[in-house]
């Protein structure tokens, strides 16, 4: 995934076509509730209609960061209506939201009653994103309370709904919060995982508001999946993805590594979030930022990767091994730097085999019905080697791609053939790694057993 460019906070420019290429659509997908989809067109639908986004803001200090999210929406041609809660106005005032969005920002259902805002705003939205979302707001949404304009909007929306929780670690980890999150996800809402880092005050931990640029990317992906919310076919599912390359240390300064950039695995993680999944990304070496909404476990070696993947896979519906795992590691690790000796040839480096994690997971299937996907990086006889590897590894799907100079590694695009254990072969033409990721999920979804 390429890092999005940083727009500057300047006076608002003229509306443009949405950057995601979407035309808005009808917003008929299921929102945070399990209610029936809307069948009629959204008000003002048409090819030139700007996608209508509702930005719900609840009472957390991260409300100020939502200003940047709002600018990203408006500058890329979205029509944004901000619905702040009364508590959030302690952090950012109504005037800021109205000025930045170009639309009125109201909190209560009693304003402009003739327009029936408590119903209209949700009904006509193509996307509702609540950012930041407090633990109180998660609880209200999960239980269907409707005591202000935002909670009413959540109940009337039939479009995709994204919650961006931000709170202290204790609140996030509390079973009450986690149960509310699980409820919302089960109903099809996208609840993105908070980031880990500095929180308000002196503490650090999970609960931080993710980078607005990353949140915007998730929103863009959800919108691009279309009005039917086709996307949320991974709602309520836990998927584990490994990405990047492992590094096998030889001494404190040297390691055996590989050219993997992590882009394919990160694209798989981002597309899975947009399709509603809870995502654990086990990340080897990569320079990419942690994607918003994903639980990221950073590892170094193949042995650490194995441990992290097996742990996360225990309750996973699908495991995708996109990491480039070193097959061998140095047999010994020198605790001090290996020095060259004048007049002496270097000692050869003895290697030992690393565990084959994909083969182990495919044999294990820690959860019944778990779908396991592998990648095959080949330089010669690509398809023949891929077919043999599929059988040898025992996975359900194997994404075969040719690697080499300027191919696959490090590039933002890729082409592949996805081989299935039942003999089906799906060629995926050259295109962005996100497109390949979506094709992979398209093939995973029908293989998942009923939740
Ligand atoms: N893989 C793994 N554990 C390893 C090596 C690879 O889990 N020790 C996984 C990779 O993540 C990938 C798949 O196995 O999903 C295939 O990786 P690849 O490097 O193409 O194949 P190898 O197993 O190394 O086989 P070969 O040496 O024949 O290329």
Please check whether residue 179 is in contact with residue 50, taking contact to mean a CB–CB distance below 8 angstroms: no
Q: Would you state the pLDDT for residue 100?
A: 97
Residues of the chain with CATH 3.40.50.1950: 48-224
Closest-CA residue to 394 (of 373, 377, 378, 379) = 373
Yes or no: say if 122 and 156 are a contact pair by the CB < 8 Å rule. yes
Determine which residue's CA is closest to atom 28 belonging to ligand 1: 389
pLDDT at residue 373 tops 50? yes
Q: What is the pLDDT of residues 341-362, one digit of tens each?
A: 889 998 899 999 999 999 999 9
pLDDT of residue 118: 80
Evaluate if residue 13 carries a pLDDT over 70: no
**CA gap 50, 78 in Å, rounded:** 5
SS3 content of the chain, % helix, strand, coil (to 5): 30, 25, 45
Residue 368 region, left (φ>0) first, then alpha (ψ -120 to 50), else beta? beta
pLDDT digits over 382-422, tens only? 999 999 999 999 999 999 988 766 665 667 788 899 999 99
Which has the closest alpha carbon to 232: 420, 69, 34, 413? 34
Give strand pairing partners of 371.
318
Long-range contacts of 183-186 (CB under 8 A, 24+ apart): 183/142, 184/32, 184/138, 184/141, 184/142, 185/235, 185/236, 185/276, 185/278, 186/235, 186/236
Nearest residue (by CA) to ligand 1, atom 19, is 377
Q: Known catalytic residues?
A: 258
The tokens describing 309, both together, are: 């993947």
Which of 9-13, 45-49, 388-392 is least confident? 9-13
3 state DSSP class of 408: coil
pLDDT at position 443 is 97
Query: Which pLDDT band holds residue 39 (cuts at 50, 70, 90)?
Result: very low
What whole-number percentage of the chain has pLDDT above 70? 86
321: nearest Cα among 228, 237, 244: 244
Question: Which of the four pLDDT bands, split at 50, 70 and 90, describes residue 37?
Answer: very low
Closest atom, ligand 1, to C-alpha of 376: 20
Query: Which residues 6+ apart lie within 8 Å of 427 measured at CB?
Result: 415, 416, 417, 418
76/116: higher pLDDT: 76
pLDDT of res. 188: 85
Residue 308's pLDDT band, with cuts at 50, 70 and 90, is very high
Is it the case that residue 157 has pLDDT exceeding 50?
yes
Q: What would the mean pLDDT of 53-58 be, rounded to a whole number?
A: 98
- Whether pLDDT at 144 is above 70: yes
To test the pocket of ligand 1, the residue of 242, 312, 325 to mutate (highest count of ligand atoms within 8 Å of its CB) is 325
How much is the pLDDT for 225?
79
CATH topology for 48-224 is Rossmann fold (3.40.50)
357 C-alpha to ligand 1 centroid (Å): 8
d(CA 437, CA 425): 16
Q: Is the pLDDT of residue 221 over 90?
A: no
Q: Quickly state the pLDDT bin for 261 (edges 50, 70, 90).
A: very high
Atom of ligand 1 nearest to the CA of 374: 15
Chain position carrying tokens 């041609």 = 77
Instruction: DSSP for 143-194, please give it.
Output: HT--SSHHHHHHHH--S-EEEEE---HHHHHSHHHHHHHHHHHHTT-EEPBP
Mean pLDDT of 209-222: 92
The mean pLDDT value of the chain amounts to 87
- Quick count: other Cβ atoms within 10 Å of Cβ 439? 19
Judging by DSSP bridges, how do beta strands 413-420 and 351-353 pair with one another? unpaired
pLDDT greater than 70 at residue 43: no
Segment 174-193 shows an average pLDDT of: 92
The predicted structure's pLDDT at residue 46: 56
The whole-angstrom separation of Cα 206 and Cα 285 is 22
Mean pLDDT in residue range 64-87: 97
Position 230 scores a pLDDT of 52
Q: Is the pLDDT of residue 36 over 80?
A: no
pLDDT at 83 over 70: yes
pLDDT tens digits for range 418-443: 999 999 999 999 999 989 999 999 99
Confidence grade of residue 229 (pLDDT, cut at 50, 70, 90) = low
> pLDDT at position 408, please?
58
CATH 3.40.50.10300 domain residues, the chain: 238-337+346-447
- Is the CB of 417 inside a 6 Å radius of any atom of ligand 1? no
Evaluate whether the domain defined by 238-337+346-447 bears CATH number 3.40.50.300. no
Q: How does residue 47 score in pLDDT terms, banded at 50, 70 and 90?
A: low
Q: Which residue has the higher pLDDT, 221 or 243?
A: 243
Return d(Cα 296, Cα 281) in angstroms, integer: 5
Structural contact between residues 280 and 316, judged by C-beta atoms closer than 8 angstroms:
yes
Q: What is the pLDDT, as a whole number, of residue 405? A: 63
- 302 CB within 6 A, ligand 1: yes
In the three-class reduction of DSSP (H, G, I as helix; E, B as strand; rest coil), residue 440 is classed as: helix
- The half-sphere exposure of 166 on its side-chain side, counting CA atoms within 13 A, is 27
């Amino acid at each position: 995934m390429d890092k999005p460019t940083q727009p500057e906070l300047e006076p608002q420019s003229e509306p443009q076509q949405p950057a995601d290429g979407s035309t808005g659509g009808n917003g008929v997908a299921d929102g945070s509730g399990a209610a029936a989809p809307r069948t009629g067109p959204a008000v003002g639908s048409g090819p030139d209609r700007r996608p209508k986004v509702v930005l719900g803001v609840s009472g957390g200090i991260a409300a100020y960061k939502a200003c940047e999210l709002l600018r990203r929406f408006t500058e890329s041609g979205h029509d944004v209506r901000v619905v702040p809660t009364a508590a959030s106005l302690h952090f950012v005032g109504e005037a800021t939201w109205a000025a930045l969005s170009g639309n009125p920002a109201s909190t209560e259902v009693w304003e402009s009653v003739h327009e029936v805002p408590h119903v209209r705003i949700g009904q006509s939205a193509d996307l509702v994103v609540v950012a930041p979302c407090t633990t109180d707001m998660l609880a209200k949404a999960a239980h269907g309370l409707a005591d202000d304009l935002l909670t009413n909007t959540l109940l009337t929306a039939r479009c995709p709904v994204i919650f961006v929780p931000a709170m202290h670690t204790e609140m996030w980890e509390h079973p009450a919060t986690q149960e509310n999150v699980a409820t919302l996800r089960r109903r099809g809402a996208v609840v993105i995982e908070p980031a880990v880092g500095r929180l308000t005050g002196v503490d650090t931990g999970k609960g931080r508001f993710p980078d607005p640029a990353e949140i915007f990317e998730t929103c863009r992906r959800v919108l691009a999946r279309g009005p039917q919310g086709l996307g949320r076919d991974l709602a309520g599912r836990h998927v584990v993805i490994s990405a990047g390359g492992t590094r096998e240390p030889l001494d404190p300064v040297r390691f055996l590594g590989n050219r993997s950039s992590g882009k394919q695995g990160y694209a798989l993680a981002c597309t899975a979030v947009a399709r509603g999944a809870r995502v654990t990304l086990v990340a080897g070496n990569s320079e990419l930022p942690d994607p918003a909404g994903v639980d990221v476990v950073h590892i170094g070696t193949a042995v650490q990767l194995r441990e992290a993947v097996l742990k996360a896979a225990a309750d996973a519906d699908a495991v995708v091994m996109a990491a480039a795992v070193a097959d061998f590691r140095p047999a010994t690790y020198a605790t001090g730097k290996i020095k060259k000796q004048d007049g002496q040839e270097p000692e050869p480096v003895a290697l030992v085999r690393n565990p084959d994690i994909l083969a182990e997971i495919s044999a294990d299937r820690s959860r019944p019905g778990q779908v396991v996907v592998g990648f095959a990086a080949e330089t010669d006889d690509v398809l023949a080697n891929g077919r043999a590897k599929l059988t040898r590894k025992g996975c359900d799907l194997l994404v075969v791609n040719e690697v080499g100079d300027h191919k696959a590694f490090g590039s933002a695009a890729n082409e592949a053939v996805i081989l299935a254990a039942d003999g089906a072969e799906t060629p995926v033409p050259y295109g962005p790694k996100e497109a390949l990721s979506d094709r992979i999920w398209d093939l995973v979804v029908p293989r998942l057993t009923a939740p």
